Amino acid sequence: MSKNVLVVGFAFISTIALFSLNHAAQQSPEPKPVTVPANEFSAERAHNLLQTLLAENKPHPVGSPQNKIVKSRITAELDRLSIGWEEQGTWACAYRYNGCAFVENIIAIIPGKSEDSFIALMAHYDSVPMAPGAGDDGAGVVAILESARALALEAPFEHSIMLLFTDAEEMGLIGAEGFFNQHPLAKKIKLVLDFEGSGTTGQSMVLRTTDANE
């Protein structure tokens, strides 16, 4: 057998192996049922909560009656989990998008060992005017709520955990502008993990990290 044949064969096998490894890496983990231990994340439980949150399957843009219904269901779930929360109702503007709105952000806290240091889990609960927003960003909202349920059982952590559900994201991040520019707790946040529906299919991934992340 010639060296050329061996080289071609090795390259072919290596390509197949790399393709298989890449394919395996892109597969999502098997979703866990509601029967998993209480301190573990259950995708089935999160999915059930999403169906409750968006029961009418209607759009809920900022300022709409349906938006308030979705907000009330989020706060009801926080109450059920015995996680304290507050509502930030304020006018805010996103000058990059030439838009202003009265936003109603929800800020919930799982207390940690430090009251001056927060890790924020963030998602927006409003939708675009023409879709119910299950992927963008209802999935992010319920992922945080289900994570919070499990995390609360393990608390306290070194940092306090903030659950930040912003309004009017679809108008240009207006709810986030209102929180980070006006709320006193914003300056105490050390890390923000924003759960956003930036795609339609596939595995969840980290994207749009800041320059300071190593």
**Catalytic residue numbers, as ranges:** 169
Q: At residue 128, what is the residue type?
A: V
Contact 195, 144 (CB under 8 A): yes
Q: At a CB cut-off of 8 Å and minimum separation 6, what does 79 contact? A: 85
Dihedral Cα 186, 187, 193, 194, nearest 10 deg: 40
Structure tokens at 151: 């995390």
The total of other beta-carbon atoms located within 10 Å of residue 69's CB is 15
Total H helices, total E strands in the chain: 5, 5
Q: At a CB cut-off of 8 Å and minimum separation 6, what does 96 contact? A: 172
Q: For residue 170, which of 196, 202, 146 has the smallest C-alpha distance?
A: 196
Dihedral Cα 60, 183, 196, 145, nearest 10 deg: -80
How many whole angstroms separate alpha carbon 159 and alpha carbon 107? 16
